[in-house]
């Protein structure tokens, strides 16, 4: 079941909570039910029987990535500007994208979560991805943790989509995953990404060596998340 209530309508919110709906905050009221209970509302034709999770924000739908997203992902990931601070190696073929989607599907299956498609509600366009990746291998002296990441088509930068989608994902993560902290990493030169993390409330911890590259390590504690809305 999937429902929404008008912003700041306490009666409606209370009624939904009483029947077991979950609240997702930040600038909108979003209710989510996971798994088999999803209704057909907002399901797209192509992913109808695969979709497991939907989160809705004021402007965006977040869902698992599907092979039908390959053109949108190719547009994003073949852009050298998008890849400037993430290995600087834009994709050259749609086949590379298909392998990425296949890998994400394995992560959905094994970890229950991975990067999600971010879809503009107005246009139904997949504008990028945002989400939590589970690391079971050690990185910077941490192991078995969730890392927030995001990537958007260049034409959609500067609209607040990264912050809006990530805020909903952090809400989901702290409410449904058994974790007290969520981490993020960024190239120290990636000013746009660091601004997103700061707005979300992440704290810079240190710069560490990630396979030979200096990389900034950020941390967000469950205890502090939600105490204030992300700053614009």
Give the footprint of ligand COA on this chain (CB under 6 A).
82, 85-86, 150-152, 157-163, 186, 190, 192-193, 195-196, 232
Name the minimum Å distance from CB 196 to ligand COA: 5
Q: Are 63 and 113 in contact (CB under 8 A)?
A: no
The residue sitting closest to ligand COA, measured at its beta carbon, is: 160
Q: Are 30 and 4 in contact (CB under 8 A)?
A: yes
**Angstrom distance (rounded) from CA 171 to CA 19:** 20
**Angstrom distance (rounded) from CA 45 to CA 177:** 28
**Angstrom distance (rounded) from CA 137 to CA 134:** 9
CB nearer to ligand COA: give 64 or 164: 164
- Residue in 81, 71, 56 with CA at minimum distance from that of residue 125: 71
Name the minimum Å distance from CB 40 to ligand COA: 29
CB nearer to ligand COA: give 27 or 66: 27
Name the minimum Å distance from CB 21 to ligand COA: 25
CB nearer to ligand COA: give 195 or 221: 195
Question: In sequence order, what are the beta bridge partners of 119?
Answer: 61, 126
Which tokens go with 151?
């990537």
Name the minimum Å distance from CB 173 to ligand COA: 17
CB nearer to ligand COA: give 16 or 65: 65
Name the minimum Å distance from CB 129 to ligand COA: 9
CB nearer to ligand COA: give 26 or 174: 26
Alpha helices in 79-132 (DSSP H): 94-111
């Amino acid at each position: 079941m999937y429902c929404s209530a008008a912003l700041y309508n306490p009666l409606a919110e209370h009624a939904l909570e009483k029947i077991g709906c979950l609240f997702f905050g930040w600038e909108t009221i979003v209710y989510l039910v996971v798994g088999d209970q999803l209704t057909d509302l907002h399901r797209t034709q192509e992913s109808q029987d695969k979709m497991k999770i939907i989160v809705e924000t004021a402007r965006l739908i977040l869902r698992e990535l599907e092979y039908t997203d390959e053109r949108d992902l190719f547009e994003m990931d073949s852009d050298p500007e998008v890849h400037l601070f993430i290995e600087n190696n834009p994709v050259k073929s749609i086949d590379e994208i298909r392998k990425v989607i296949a890998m994400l599907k394995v992560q959905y299956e094994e970890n229950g979560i991975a990067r999600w498609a971010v879809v503009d509600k107005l246009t139904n366009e997949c504008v990028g991805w945002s989400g939590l990746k589970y690391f079971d291998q050690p990185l910077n002296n941490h192991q078995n943790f969730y890392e927030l990441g995001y990537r958007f088509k260049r034409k959609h930068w500067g609209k607040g989509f990264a912050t809006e989608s990530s805020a909903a994902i952090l809400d989901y993560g702290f409410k449904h995953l058994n974790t007290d902290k969520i981490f993020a990493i960024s190239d120290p030169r990636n000013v746009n990404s660091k601004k997103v993390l700061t707005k979300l409330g992440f704290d810079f911890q240190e710069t560490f060596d990630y396979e030979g590259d200096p990389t900034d390590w950020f941390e967000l504690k469950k205890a502090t998340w939600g105490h204030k809305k992300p700053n614009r």
